[in-house]
Structure 1
Amino acid sequence: MESSKRKRARKACQPCRERKRKCDGDEPCTTCTEWEYDCYYEDRTRRKSRATRQPSPEFQTTKQSPGQTGSGPSPVESDHCQLVRRMEANSGAAFVRKLGLKIDPAKAPKLNLFGWNIGARKLSSPLDTGPALSIFEITSWEHFKGLAVVYFDKVDPCYGFIEQSFFFERLNERWRSSPAPQMYDGVICGVAALGCLFSQRSATATELHLVHTARARLEMHHLTGPPCLDLLTGWTLRSTYLRMTDSPYSTWMASSTLMHLIEASGLHPEKHHDSVLPPPVECDQYARPDIQRRLVGVAHHLNVWSSYDLGLSRVSFRTDDLPLPPSPKLGDYTGEVLGLLPVSVRMDPGKVKDETDLEPTLLKLLDGSHTEPPSVMAQCNLVLCILRRIHTQNLDISPKLAEKVLVLLKKALGCARSMVMDCSPWHQVANVPFQIVCVLLVMDTRSSLAMLPEAIQTLNLVASTYDTETMREACSAAYLLVLLHQQRRKDDVAIFGEALNNHQRERPMDISQELSPSAEEYSWLGALVADLPGLQRVDLDQFLNADMIDGSFMGGAGENFPSEGRRDL
């Protein structure tokens, strides 16, 4: 009899204890190995001996959190686990990896930021850029002017940190000056490179030379004092271009450098006049305080999200104050994008945050007004991050709120398609559709899964328009996730079918007859309907005799019988 009893591990590891999972007691245990947890065991003997000691006075006054018990993890371990969990929730790569492991650990996609942007712009044959060219050697003044018009038409309304009239005045002056390299060449080439990106679907030699020259002018500058505004503007343009075309690590490095330069410049945090510290950099008369704050805000925006996606630290100042909102300007929606910064910064994994506050924050974001496609995509990106945090914390949202989420996701997919057709390859045009596919699979309801074809179609449109290795990998990963989810559902349906077949073999009778109410039950329900006026219009016969086996019973297995890999948001 003793051998027939279920054997249990004498001591479970800490991750299994926290997640209430079965542990086999090995080091590492099977559960942690499959789910890639950091398996460790807490030394109970040492903790018990510590608990018997008389606590010191400073610890006697410390209050214990309501959820903390003697058998739980230590505060340091608990804080570390929470930090790691928040970092994984903010990172789109970690979220996708864990989603794949939950469906099928053997075939899950590798850890990668799929669809982080459209990918690197390359020529059909490699271009030997060599030494940086002078701007006079790259292209003509008329071409520079045309590319700048594209920039101020498509990019500047969303990231408006350059005064348009001042730029064209400086461009004209530069063409009348000597061909020797100047610092403002980095700004001119940065604007022109983004103009190429937003006007041509394929890379050109001119675009690559512009990017190479802009980088050379920025990196050749030797700082002997606070950096000038031209240098800050050039680095902001470079970070913007990298965010749309280059790797996450290159972008994070560039955006972090930009943030350190901003701090060194004294533009932010804004110092008081009576401070003995060096004054802010002397700026041109055209660079109004509003332009400076816009530049700081865009730099914050780029650094925050590149650090979140990679799970790395963002650059924060001592006071960590955000710049003031930009002044409204006709045709400009930079304020809408930068208005998301306060919520974005509060999502920092290192900040202690009440996760129960996520739902009100989500509702407030969904009710926000965003008019243009790039702004809507920025809003949707933040909403997707909050949804990942909610899912990681095993929290639920109301059906009404889930409906509003799906409305925004559908709107974002439409914006992505319109931006592709308009040749506006913002980074979110690839990132948001891919993350929407993942979130729809996690929501796992009929309403969310019904949106999957549109999400996949949008991702395919981006990949067919910008045929890069990055987009091909994103499409392959999305297909794999949907395929694994489908196979999981087929396996579940087979299990249900087997259960019903066994029932039919053991008790061969009509299931509908078994489920039909008896005369006594029918009489009791009829009396209940008569007593409740709100139910008097219900067709009792139709309600009781509905075919529970067909349609919603088997076809809706995902809603009525969630699979093991499902977790509703």
Structure 2
Amino acid sequence: GANVKPCLPPERPFHLRQRSQRACAPCRKRKIKCDGTEPCAACSGYGYNCVYTEAPNRHARASSGVTPPSQMSVTNHDAIKAAAAESGVGWRVSGTAENLYMTSEVIVPDSYGAPKLLQPIKTRFTSAYSAVAWPRRLGIKLGIPNPPRLQAYGWNPGTRKEVNPEMDKTICDILTLSEAKTFADIYFKEVHPYFGILDQSMFNERCEDFWVSMRRGTDFEACICGVIALGSYFSTAKSSHPIPPSPVESAVVEHGRELLDLSVAHPPAMISVKHVAGWILRTLYLRLTTRPHIAWMASCTTVHVAEAIGLHRELDEFQMKPDMPRQITEMEVDLRRRTFWVAMALNQFFASEYGRTMVNIDLISCQTLSPQSGDMTARMVAIMQAAPAQGLLGRPVELFEALVKGTELPVKSPLLGIIRAEVCFCVYRMICSTDTRIRVELIPSLLEVIRVGLDAVTFLGTMHQPWWNVVSMPLQAVGVLLSLETTESYKMIPLALETLKNATTLYDSYLSREALTTAYALVQGAAQQKRSGLDSLDRGLEVVGELSLSTSSLSTSPGDVFQWPMDNDLGYSDFLDLSNYFGLADRAVAGFGL
């Protein structure tokens, strides 16, 4: 199964080192320490496929009882079954995902006359050991004809009536279908190639049906708001001169926020895949327009909503038991995988660049994405997931490996080149935080990544594509180049400053001007520091004064008086006995017991 790079646990208190009973194949190949868990800490940090070539030690397993689910391989159901059998418990796990999880779906009855295409599906997904699943699971075991539903029975005393707000308008009240199509076309041209979580033809078809039905508060309406908001954002950048945002953009963004809040903060909290897609679109918009912690928190919510409906599991691993049977298509399976991995990648990348913790989900079996022609979603996910987790702090060996991995990531577009540079910056900043100098052999590769990223920023500027990193990447590049303190890195600083200045001119705002001022101050401070050092050297030369240091004046001629080996004729070895000076002779005698 696929493994996600979770945030590693904090360092444990000091204790005597214990050798792990086993090591996974990637750790054996790279000759690094393995902690023996599944997945192990090293593979979790790098995104390797953690695979063990031999079974766990039977003695160790017997002494500890049943292996915890969090340490089991998500695909090794035979091992799960064997472990449960060894424990001798009465309720044994059969080894299938159907017994590890419980899922239900409800197609919400349509009261607005909308076509079936728009009917929302309420999905409930939980572990079989949860309090929510227990009544139903027990009812099935006892053979009750109609076992209890998958529901939180008695979750609270129920002494307060639930607040159930309703939407008093739809997006149809904000803009026309024609305007929505214009913004949607821009979205699918600019955003969709990198974050392909929607099907364009199906989206357009559903939009037409939605404007006919005008149903309020649906999950698809939240997706519409996200698409229009991003389309509007990129539409204003196509002009050669700055133009104000569309007057409907802020209204659409606020309406989308209200719809998404209804899905997680108010009953009945009907959650679907389209809600996850809506949260992804909102996360992207927030990253483009507002403060970092807001975008990071939105990305965390996105992952939690994805887990709540079981996107991290494959549909064919457990039997779906919807109240109203439906057909599952290949497109639905593909979009589920895309939606899940984009959500995970955004959370990991935003958490790494902001210095926060990513959301960790256990037992992920959702298949990873494969590159497709004309679509860069899989490549974007792979690059974002190369961003280091906080667990790598203080582990320079692993950080150097992560930096090598980041510089070797292939890029097929300018935006991917910038994202790769930002991933490498994340790793480099972690290395610097440990007061460790980067290895000299890694500097050329890092400089090449910076050069490609700066060229990509320039290209995106000519194409009027204001992604979130067109200003931050040159600024971060200046900081990295100054920190490297090499001749080659100093030579690239003018290019980085010029790129940042051009981006500031193009996207004239307080934030861009502030970034340019900050970069200028950093370079100015570095220059003053270097000048101070050069002044000290110059003063040292002035103390000696002018000397004629020609080659001939320093060499000897056959007629010189002192033309003989000084170490022989002046008793050099006797005069300066280095062995006794360092006490080596005494130590040698003591070492041999003489």
Match of 1:473 among 507, 514, 528: 514
Contact kept? 1:190, 1:234, Cα under 8 Å: yes
User: What amino acid does structure 1 have at the position aligned with 2:469?
Assistant: Q
CA distance in 1, matches of 2:379, 2:337: 14
1:143 corresponds to: 179
Superimposed CA distance per residue, residues 425-462 of structure 1 (whole angstroms, 9 cap, x where no aligned partner) = 21122221111010000112221111111111211222
Contact kept? 1:132, 1:213, Cα under 8 Å: no
Structure 1 residues 60, 242: closer, same or farther in 2, change over 3 A? closer
Contact kept? 2:475, 2:515, Cα under 8 Å: yes
C-alpha displacement at 1:271, in angstroms? 7.3
Superimposed CA distance per residue, residues 329-356 of structure 1 (whole angstroms, 9 cap, x where no aligned partner) = 3311111111135533xx2113588522
CA distance in 2, matches of 1:359, 1:443: 15
C-alpha displacement at 1:305, in angstroms? 2.5
Structure 1 residues 464, 520: closer, same or farther in 2, change over 3 A? same
CA distance in 1, matches of 2:495, 2:17: 57
1:485 corresponds to: 526
Alignment of 1:343 with 2:386, yes or no, is: yes
C-alpha displacement at 1:295, in angstroms? 1.2
Contact kept? 1:218, 1:231, Cα under 8 Å: yes
CA distance in 1, matches of 2:452, 2:391: 32
Match of 2:462 among 406, 416, 421: 421
Match of 2:234 among 198, 215, 239: 198
Structure 1 residues 299, 516: closer, same or farther in 2, change over 3 A? farther
1:373 corresponds to: 414
CA distance in 1, matches of 2:284, 2:445: 31
2:556 corresponds to: 519
CA distance in 1, matches of 2:461, 2:228: 20
Written as runs of structure 1 = structure 2, the 5 A alignment for 1:113-128 is none
Match of 2:400 among 339, 349, 359: 359
CA distance in 1, matches of 2:494, 2:346: 31
2:50 corresponds to: none
Match of 1:332 among 375, 382, 385: 375
User: What amino acid does structure 1 have at the position aligned with 2:470?
Assistant: V
2:302 corresponds to: 258
Structure 1 residues 179, 61: closer, same or farther in 2, change over 3 A? closer
Contact kept? 2:279, 2:302, Cα under 8 Å: yes
Structure 1 residues 278, 313: closer, same or farther in 2, change over 3 A? farther
1:210 corresponds to: 252
CA distance in 2, matches of 1:343, 1:515: 59
Contact kept? 1:226, 1:264, Cα under 8 Å: no
Written as runs of structure 1 = structure 2, the 5 A alignment for 1:204-283 is 204-221=246-263, 222-224=266-268, 227-270=271-314, 273=317
1:118 corresponds to: none
Structure 1 residues 323, 513: closer, same or farther in 2, change over 3 A? farther
Structure 1 residues 312, 367: closer, same or farther in 2, change over 3 A? closer
1:509 corresponds to: 547
Larger CA Rg, structure 1 vs 2: 2
Written as runs of structure 1 = structure 2, the 5 A alignment for 1:42-53 is none
TM-score (norm 1): 0.63
Alignment of 1:296 with 2:296, yes or no, is: no
State the secondary structure of the residue aligned to 1:200.
helix
Superimposed CA distance per residue, residues 206-255 of structure 1 (whole angstroms, 9 cap, x where no aligned partner) = 22122112112222343536611221111111001101111011111211
Contact kept? 2:314, 2:365, Cα under 8 Å: no
Contact kept? 2:392, 2:399, Cα under 8 Å: no
Contact kept? 1:132, 1:209, Cα under 8 Å: no
CA distance in 1, matches of 2:428, 2:218: 46
2:76 corresponds to: none
1:550 corresponds to: none
2:207 corresponds to: 171
User: What amino acid does structure 2 have at the position aligned with 1:197?
Assistant: Y
Contact kept? 1:417, 1:458, Cα under 8 Å: yes
User: What amino acid does structure 2 have at the position aligned with 1:193?
Assistant: A
User: What amino acid does structure 2 have at the position aligned with 1:369?
Assistant: P
TM-score (norm 2): 0.60
Contact kept? 1:228, 1:282, Cα under 8 Å: no
CA distance in 2, matches of 1:253, 1:173: 33
CA distance in 1, matches of 2:180, 2:349: 31
The sequence identity of aligned pairs, in percent, is 28
CA distance in 1, matches of 2:422, 2:552: 47
C-alpha displacement at 1:388, in angstroms? 2.1
Written as runs of structure 1 = structure 2, the 5 A alignment for 1:434-449 is 434-449=475-490
CA distance in 1, matches of 2:508, 2:197: 31
CA distance in 1, matches of 2:421, 2:502: 19
CA distance in 2, matches of 1:151, 1:203: 15
Query: What RMSD over aligned residues (CA atoms) do the two structures have, in Å?
Result: 3.4
Match of 1:410 among 435, 443, 451: 451
Contact kept? 1:132, 1:212, Cα under 8 Å: no
C-alpha displacement at 1:394, in angstroms? 4.2
User: What amino acid does structure 2 have at the position aligned with 1:138?
Assistant: I
CA distance in 2, matches of 1:401, 1:487: 28
Structure 1 residues 302, 364: closer, same or farther in 2, change over 3 A? closer
Paired residue total: 393
CA distance in 1, matches of 2:536, 2:213: 78
2:146 corresponds to: none
Structure 1 residues 286, 180: closer, same or farther in 2, change over 3 A? farther
CA distance in 1, matches of 2:223, 2:305: 16
CA distance in 2, matches of 1:461, 1:352: 35
2:39 corresponds to: none
User: What amino acid does structure 2 have at the position aligned with 1:304?
Assistant: Q
Structure 1 residues 258, 364: closer, same or farther in 2, change over 3 A? closer
Q: Which sits farther off after the overlay, 164-173 or 422-431? A: 422-431
Structure 1 residues 233, 487: closer, same or farther in 2, change over 3 A? same
Written as runs of structure 1 = structure 2, the 5 A alignment for 1:448-467 is 448-467=489-508
Structure 1 residues 352, 509: closer, same or farther in 2, change over 3 A? closer
2:471 corresponds to: 430
Structure 1 residues 312, 282: closer, same or farther in 2, change over 3 A? farther
User: What amino acid does structure 2 have at the position aligned with 1:509?
Assistant: L
1:534 corresponds to: none
State the secondary structure of the residue aligned to 1:139.
coil
Superimposed CA distance per residue, residues 78-114 of structure 1 (whole angstroms, 9 cap, x where no aligned partner) = xxxxxxxxxxxxxxxxxxxxxxxxxxxxxxxxxxxxx
Contact kept? 1:267, 1:292, Cα under 8 Å: yes
Contact kept? 1:218, 1:234, Cα under 8 Å: yes
CA distance in 1, matches of 2:168, 2:541: 73
C-alpha displacement at 1:291, in angstroms? 1.3
Superimposed CA distance per residue, residues 545-565 of structure 1 (whole angstroms, 9 cap, x where no aligned partner) = xxxxxxxxxxxxxxxxxxxxx
CA distance in 1, matches of 2:510, 2:304: 32
C-alpha displacement at 1:278, in angstroms? 10
User: What amino acid does structure 1 have at the position aligned with 2:484?
Assistant: M
2:220 corresponds to: 184
Structure 1 residues 360, 260: closer, same or farther in 2, change over 3 A? closer
CA distance in 2, matches of 1:61, 1:434: 43
Structure 1 residues 132, 471: closer, same or farther in 2, change over 3 A? farther
2:429 corresponds to: 388
User: What amino acid does structure 1 have at the position aligned with 2:225?
Assistant: C
Contact kept? 1:228, 1:283, Cα under 8 Å: no
User: What amino acid does structure 1 have at the position aligned with 2:424?
Assistant: V
Structure 1 residues 516, 405: closer, same or farther in 2, change over 3 A? farther
